[in-house]
Structure formats: structure tokens, C-alpha cells
Chain A
């Protein structure tokens, strides 16, 4: 998608409840792609990082305002019931419907139950699931078919679809991301309990008391080799980009490995990560990026540009507020 956008072949994107400007690897590549599109619509609770690149921003709903279904990894489909009407005046699906109608594709759903009915009629996996059934049973595990009208707690009993199943040899395939003299450390990124993913929802709460910034965790030996002390600013450079974080010297990480979280956009953790991905699903390789860490005295060039861009966008929002009032 980003490649196609950069080639000028992919021109518009409607993003609901995702923040690819912060969550995806190689941030500079993502922002280049976002900048090259003609129409980006972001529908979200907050003006997140991706919203800074949007031509149109629409208000999203919180979980308390949502009405629909939720399917978890156990194949279990449950109802989600709203406790209040959306403050913005429209539910997420109603906004999508308004957009669709405005663009010439008619939609006339009057309730989320009708959308579920359509999903069930088109997607064999979800056939037989409807709001009445969910209200009656509380939740069901797909598939709901003639044999199991109330859902299927265990998918395969006795045999698999193909019979007894098939065992295959697989070999370990090492990553192509290698450490060398220029990038001798491995950066691994991860999460902390008190912040949720890109932190759009949790950074704006008192949770920052538990985690107020992303720090670079580095082993005392690696820190000493580089003259880095607790709290020092560290430049972290990879083949994709460079950012600056404060050091936390700790033996929680092994020598040769550095670690950070990606909850704060100004950290630019994903400026550093590369687009390496797994062969099957293209899931980004967030756990292995070859880097070098050095003691520095100022933010990275990317962080300076990020700060400037953010200030400009925030000023535009303020201007718009004045205009509305």
C-alpha cells in the first residue's frame, strides 16, 4: 500500500481507529507515503500522529458509545452494547454510511444488526450469526451451522478437514538483519502494561505517572563501553533511521541487546525499526533491528522535524477552533 502510494498509484485512505504514523515500522517511509496521497480521512477519538497528515478528520466513538459485535481469538462473537449515544452525534458505522452515500455508493442500514446480517450472508465463517441469537445465548463461537446451530466450541474433533492432518519439516530461517561493526547491538521494542500500544488513549490519562517516557534500556557493560550513564541522552541509529532517548542502565537486558517501548510518538522508536517482515504474513520484525548507540547532547534530526511539524499542526487546530467559535 505504501509502495503504491509512493508510486502515485494509491491515492486515498480512510483510517478508522489505527495510528500507522506511530505504530508501523520505518516511520519516515510511512510519512512519505501519507504525504504523497491526495485524500486521507482519519476517524479517531484523538488527533493522533496519522491525523497530522489527514485532509479530513472525523470524530470516532469510544467503546462506551459503540453498538455492535466483537469477535475474539477464541472465535467467540459477543455483543457490544453502548452505554451512551455517541457524543459526536453519529456512530462510527453511520459516519461510514454517510461517506459512502456522499461518494455515490448507496447504503441504508438503520441498525448494526442489519450489518451483521449482511456479514453473515456473505462470509461463510459467520453464517447463522445474528443479534437475536447473540441476545439469546450471550455469545457464540463460529461456525454456527446445521450441525452446531449454537456455535462450535471445538473446531476439529477426531479429524481435521483434510483427514488426519499433515506434518511438515520446517527449518530455522535466520533474519537478514545482521549486527556488524557499524551496528553492533540488537534493538528490541515492546510494551509496558500501563500504556496501550501507541498510547493514543493511555498517554492522555494519569497512567503517565507509571510510564512518562520511553527509555532505552542498556546493559551496564554496553553502557560503560560507550560512556553512557543512567539518564544520559543516547542516539540510536539503524539502517532505517535515528532517534534519541534517555538511557536506563539495567541488567534487565542482556549485553548486546537494547530495549525500548514505543508508546510516545516523540521517541521515534519506529523511526529506527526496519521493514523486515516474516515470509507468511508480513508482520514487521520489531524485535530485531541492528543498531549502534552513542552518547549525544541533542535530539535527532527526525525529532527536531517532528517537533516543528507537531507545533505547526497544533497551531492550525487552534486557528480552526477560533474560526469555529
Chain B
């Protein structure tokens, strides 16, 4: 397995993991779900996993469901605010 294909795969894996988290929170309704997904990612993902997911999405890769996407955007927004 080449380095590049591996990196690609693990971006896909992170998207799948984020979607799994989203599927669990879905019955709670949009707002609570997005907060729940964001909290889970913030507490249990390493910064590296978040960076990797962001980089993967920035390359134009899709597959991330709407609510996990909103949660990731929300976390990115927060870290920008914290840095300021």
C-alpha cells in the first residue's frame, strides 16, 4: 500500500467515524445533535485527527453528512476565536 493511498484511506475513515457519531445523535434533533457531535469530537479525537479531517475536506473530498459537517465547522470556528 502506498503512502498516498493510505493517507487517502484514513481521511475516508475519519469521515466514516464522524458520520457514525452523527447517526447516533440524529434522533436528538438538529441543534442538540450538532452540539453532541462537536463535543464528542472535541473530547475524544486527537488534534491530529481533526487536522487530518480538515485537510481531507479542504481537498474537496465529500461524504461527510450535513450535521457532522456543521459540527466540524463549529469546532473550527471556535478554535479560530480562541486563537484570536
Complex alpha-carbon distance, A278 and B23, angstroms: 11
Is there a chain B Cβ closer than 8 Å to A73's Cβ? no
Minimum CB–CB distance from A236 to chain B (whole Å) comes to: 21
**How far does the alpha carbon of A171 sit from the alpha carbon of B29 in the complex, in Å?**
12
A243–B42 alpha-carbon span in the complex (Å):
38
Contact A169 B28 (CB under 8 A): yes
Chain B residues with CB under 8 Å of A169's CB are: 27-28
User: Chain A: interface residue count, which band?
Assistant: 10 to 19
Q: Which stretch in A3-11, A96-104, A119-127, A209-217 binds the other chain?
A: A3-11
Residue of B nearest to A276 (CB): B16
A residues within 8 A CB of B13? Answer: 3, 275
Q: How far is the CB of B64 from chain A (nearest CB, A)?
A: 14
Enumerate chain B residues within 8 angstroms of A283, measured Cβ to Cβ.
none
On whether the beta carbons of B10 and A170 are closer than 8 Å, the reply is no
A33 to chain B, nearest CB (A): 10
A280 lies within 8 A of B48 (CB): no
Task: Answer whether residue B7 sits at the interface, using C-beta atoms and an 8 A cutoff.
Answer: yes
> How many angstroms between the C-alpha atoms of A275 and B16 in the bound complex?
11
B70 interfacial contact with A, CB 8 Å: no
Closest-CB distance, B72 to chain A (whole angstroms): 15
* Given A3-B10, A169-B27, A279-B23, residue A9 in contact with residue B48 (CB < 8 A): yes
Give every chain A residue within 8 A of B40 (Cβ-Cβ): 279-280
Near A by CB (< 8 A), chain B positions 1-55 give 1, 3, 6-7, 10, 13, 16-17, 20-21, 23-24, 26-28, 40, 48, 52
Contact of B24 among A6, A173, A275 (CB under 8 A): A173
Q: Is A72 an interface residue (CB 8 A)?
A: no
Q: Are B10 and A279 in contact (CB under 8 A)?
A: no
- Whether B7 lies near A7 (C-beta < 8 A) is yes
Contacts of A168 in B (CB 8 A): 27-28
A171 touches B26 (CB 8 A): yes
| Given A3-B10, A279-B21, A279-B23; A176-B16 close (CB under 8 Å) | yes
- Is B7 touching A279 in the complex (CB atoms < 8 A)? no
Residues on A with beta carbons closer than 8 Å to the beta carbon of B23: 171, 173, 279
Most chain A CB neighbours (cut-off 10 Å) among B3, B7, B23:
B23
In Å, the complex CA distance between A60 and B83 comes to 45
Cβ proximity bits B58-75 to A, threshold 8 Å, 1 near / 0 not: 000000000000000000
Q: Which residues on A sit within 8 Å (CB–CB) of B21?
A: 279-280
A4 engages B48 (CB within 8 Å): yes
Contacts of A3 in B (CB 8 A): 10, 13, 52
Q: Which residue of chain B is the closest to A173 with respect to CB atoms?
A: B23
Q: Are B27 and A171 in contact (CB under 8 A)?
A: yes
Q: In the complex, A97 Cα to B2 Cα: how many Å?
A: 39
Q: Complex: how many Å from CA A282 to CA B13?
A: 12
Assembly CA distance A280 to B28 (angstroms):
16
In A132-176, which residues have CB < 8 Å from any B CB? 168-171, 173, 176
State the CA gap A32–B1 with chains docked (Å).
Answer: 10
Q: How far is the CA of A9 from the CA of B1 in the complex (A)?
A: 18
In the complex formed, the residue of A with least CB distance to B16 is A176
The answer to whether B24 and A280 have CB atoms under 8 Å apart is yes
Distance to closest chain A CB from B15 (angstroms) = 12
Task: Considering the complex, give the chain B residue whose CB is closest to the CB of A168.
Answer: B28
- Bound-state Cα–Cα, A171 to B17, Å: 17
With the chains together, A267 CA to B5 CA distance in Å?
A: 28
Count chain A CB atoms within 10 A of each CB in B6, B7, B20, B28 and give the residue with the most: B20
Query: 9 A-B residue contacts at CB 8 Å?
Result: A6-B6, A7-B7, A168-B28, A169-B28, A171-B26, A173-B23, A275-B13, A278-B20, A279-B23
Q: Which residues of A contact B (CB under 8 A)?
A: 3-4, 6-7, 9, 32, 168-171, 173, 176, 275, 277-280, 282
